[in-house]
Amino acid sequence: MIAIKRAYEPVTRSDGTRILVDRLWPRGVKKEEAHVKQWMRELGPSNELRQFFGHDPKRWNEFRKQYVAELRRPQARALLDQLLEIARKGKLTLVYSAKDEEHNQAVVIKSVLESQL
């Protein structure tokens, strides 16, 4: 099972393995409080794509399309393979910091991973 959760939400036992998928560390969150097993910053959208999107829901479809293309790159592919392996063994929670729970990179990553399970 794959879940997504904001970095600012309380950590629970049911989260399973927590992986941060933001390019930038969440503001105000101490590393020891985040309880992430790994920070896969390279999986976050490129700076250019992040700035283009600006968390504007009107740009969501184009962001999603371009981000999926970025996730096809070899470096990202290797990280996605690691996430698939974790998900096959137990619960995986993709941690992100965006306020919008419907329009963020974790939603895209989850969709890509689930299509491959």
User: CB of 63 within 8 A of CB of 45?
Assistant: yes
Query: Residue 36: which of 67, 5, 62 has the closest Cα?
Result: 5
Q: What is the pLDDT of residues 2-46, one digit of tens each?
A: 999 999 999 999 999 999 999 999 999 999 999 999 999 999 999
Q: What is the pLDDT of residues 46-101, one digit of tens each?
A: 999 999 999 999 999 999 999 999 999 999 999 999 999 999 999 999 999 999 99
Domain ranges of the chain: 2-116
Whole-structure pTM value: 0.94
Q: Give the residue carrying structure tokens 């629970």.
A: 12
